[in-house]
Amino acid sequence: MTYQGKKPGTPRTGGGSGPGTGGNNRSYTRPPTQHIQANKPPKKRLRLGRIFLILFLLSLVFSLTGLALYGFYLEKKVVESTAVTAPLPEGKPVNVLLIGIDRDPNSADKSRKTVMNTDTILVARINPASHKAHLLSIPRDTRVKLPTGMEKINAAYAIGGMDRLKKTTEELTGLSIDRYMMIDFPAFVKLVDTLGGMEFDVDKPLYDPEGTVSLQPGKQQLNGAQALAVVRFRSEEMGDIARVKRQQRFLEAAIAKMEQSSVVDWMKGIRAMSDSLRTDMTIQEMGTLATSLQAEGAQVTTHTLPGEFLDLYGVSYWKPDMAALETLVSQFKQ
């Protein structure tokens, strides 16, 4: 499934109508030169002109400085300080592990407050030079080898933390993980709500396990809780595989939303989910990778880990087709 990016408009950095803000442009016509008597120089008019110019420059500097300081504050809050990472190679492909944790500190179910299984796992290979990205969805039931034996990959984080999950993903896909980004359910809800919701074509009646959300088919504007129900639902014949396909369609809608949103919008979104977002990416790295996918002709292609269903000892797994996966990954590197 391929998403063809549209040519974005001039990026918005906030309200206002000043230069570079995307507001209403105003033309200025210089008035005709007037002959002024030498003994009456226009000192007051020149002084006011200088004042207006200084005020404009100061407001511009303060606005840019405020945005930079805001980004610095967010980076201190969400970036893992213990993560030791080498700088990303400029213009080279980057592999980012995107993780959704099946945890909700506000849930009435006590087990949901502390559970650390990974509900969603994706590997995004982003090439800033070609403005192309491949998103590989790894079903949570994928059978892999862990220190405890052959398990589902969604248990890797609970068993050995981020290092184990990254290593397991690398062993499975053959792609080295350069960065990661992890959020939980509340963070996802806050992000969607902060961005003003998400338009999505619901394919069938959907509901959440808690029974608080019920959706009917059709294109509609979703709030955060409804969007979460869409990406979680898997009570159907194809189970997690059908859910992965729906998540991929949601990602396409999110990319379209990103093109319509300003830098300030996304900074607000990151702030909203900052309590639950963890990453080893700097704000600058996030911006660089996101901007590369907003260029004219940008392409984002989604894939699902090749494989088949496997029932073993009463447990349902997704058995990877390693030969097909190797072929797929080789296409990512072209």
Between 266 and 45, where is the model more confident?
A: 266
| pTM of the complete model | 0.71
Residue 121 has pLDDT above 50, yes or no: yes
pLDDT in tens, 52-83: 444 444 433 333 334 444 455 555 555 555 55
Distance CA 262, CA 23 (A): 13
Mean pLDDT within 119-132: 91
Contacts of 38 (CB under 8 A, 6+ apart): none
Mean pLDDT within 146-175: 94
Mean pLDDT within 306-322: 95
Residue 167 has pLDDT above 80, yes or no: yes
CATH topology of domain 79-332: Aminopeptidase (3.40.630)
% of the chain with per-residue pLDDT over 90: 37
Contacts of 90 (CB under 8 A, 6+ apart): none
Highest mean pLDDT among 40-44, 153-157, 289-293: 153-157
pLDDT of amino acid 8: 42
Where residue 256 falls among pLDDT bands split at 50, 70, 90? confident
Distance CA 232, CA 152 (A): 17
Contacts of 45 (CB under 8 A, 6+ apart): none
Residue 1 has pLDDT above 60, yes or no: no
Q: How long a stretch of residues is the chain?
A: 334
Mean pLDDT within 162-181: 95
Can you read off the two tokens belonging to residue 27?
Answer: 């033309």
3-state secondary structure the chain: CEEECCCCCCCCCCCCCCCCCCCCCCCCCCCCCCCCCCCCCCHHHHHHHHHHHHHHHHHHHHHHHHHHHHHHHHHHHHECCCCCCCCCCCCCCEEEEEEEECCCCCCCCHHHHHCCCEEEEEEEEEECCCCEEEEEECCCCEEEEECCEEEEHHHHHHHHHHHHHHHHHHHHHCCCCCEEEEEEHHHHHHHHHHCCCEEEEECCCEECCCCCCEECCEEEEECHHHHHHHHHCCCCCCHHHHHHHHHHHHHHHHHHHHHHCCHHHHHHHHHHCCCCCEECCCHHHHHHHHHHCCCCCCEEEEEECCEEEEEECCEEEEEECHHHHHHHHHHHCC
Between 276 and 158, where is the model more confident?
A: 158
pLDDT of amino acid 124: 92
Q: What average pLDDT does the chain have?
A: 76
pLDDT of amino acid 263: 63
Residue 213 has pLDDT above 80, yes or no: yes
Highest mean pLDDT among 37-46, 99-108, 298-307, 316-325: 316-325
Highest mean pLDDT among 103-112, 214-223, 262-271, 293-302: 214-223
Residue 295 has pLDDT above 60, yes or no: yes
Residue 119 has pLDDT above 70, yes or no: yes
Mean pLDDT within 258-280: 71
Between 274 and 46, where is the model more confident?
A: 274
Residue 50 has pLDDT above 50, yes or no: no
Highest mean pLDDT among 191-195, 198-202, 234-238: 198-202
pLDDT of amino acid 157: 92
Domain ranges of the chain: 79-332
